[in-house]
Amino acid sequence: MLHDELLPQLQKRENRHFSAAGFYDGFTLFILGLAKKVLLADSLAVLVNAEFCNIEALDSLSAWVVIFWYMMELYFDFSGYCDMARGIGRMFGFRLPENFNSPFKASSVREFWRRWHMTLSRFLSQYIYFPLGGSRKGKARQCPNLLAVFLVSGIWHGANWTFVVWGLMHGLAAVFETAFPKLRFRWEWMNRLATAVFVTLSFSVFRSDSLEMAGLLWRKLFAEPGGAMLMGICNTLVYPENRVFIKFLEMKAPELLNGFFLVCFALLSGVSLLLLQGRKAEEWIEKRGHTLLGAFCLATLFVWSFLSLSQVSVFLYFNF
What is the C-alpha radius of gyration for the chain, rounded to an integer number of angstroms?
21
Predicted confidence band of residue 313 (pLDDT cuts 50, 70, 90)? low
- Is 83 within the bounds of a domain? yes
pLDDT of residue 282: 87
Helix (H) or strand (E) holding 87: helix 60-91
In-domain check, residue 149: no
Q: What is the pLDDT of residues 90-116, one digit of tens each?
A: 998 888 889 999 999 999 999 999 999
Q: Is 1 helix (H, G, I), strand (E, B) or coil?
A: coil
* Residue 264 is assigned to a structural domain of this protein: yes
Q: Please indicate, yes or no, if residue 221 is contained in any of the structural domains.
A: no
Q: Is residue 298 part of a domain?
A: yes
Percent of the residues in the chain that have a pLDDT greater than 90, as a whole number = 69
Residue 202 clears pLDDT 80, i.e. is over it: yes
Nearest to 148 by CA among 169, 166, 129, 162: 129
**256 contact partners, CB below 8 Å, separation of at least 6:** 249
Q: Is the pLDDT of residue 224 over 90?
A: no
Q: Is residue 93 one of the residues assigned to a domain?
A: yes
pLDDT at 318: 66
Is 157 a catalytic site residue? yes
Dist CA 129 CA 246 (whole Å): 53
User: Tens digit of pLDDT for each residue in 225-274?
Assistant: 777 788 889 999 998 888 899 999 989 898 999 999 999 999 999 999 99
Residue 133 located in a structural domain? no
Catalytic member of 3, 117, 157, 170: 157
> CA distances (Å), 270 to each of 191, 204, 213, 262, in order?
22, 21, 29, 12
**Domain annotation covers residue 92:** yes
Secondary structure string (H, E, C) spanning 6-52: HHHHHHCHHHHCCCHHHHHHHHHHHHHHHHHHHHHHHHHHHHHHHHH
Give the separation between CA 12 and CA 94, rounded to whole angstroms: 10
As to burial, measured by CB atoms within 10 angstroms (0-12 exposed, 13-18 middle, 19+ buried), residue 195 is: buried
In this prediction, residue 73 carries a pLDDT of 96
Residue 281: give the domain boundaries: 3-59+73-102+229-319
Q: Which amino acid is at 48?
A: V
Q: What is the per-residue pLDDT across 23-79, written as a single tens digit (0 to 9) for each?
A: 999 999 999 999 999 999 999 999 999 999 999 999 999 999 999 999 999 999 999
In this predicted structure, the answer to whether residue 134 has a pLDDT above a threshold of 90 is no
Residues 6+ apart with CB under 8 A from 216: 55, 56
Q: Can you give the pLDDT at residue 16?
A: 67
Count how many domains the chain has. Answer: 1
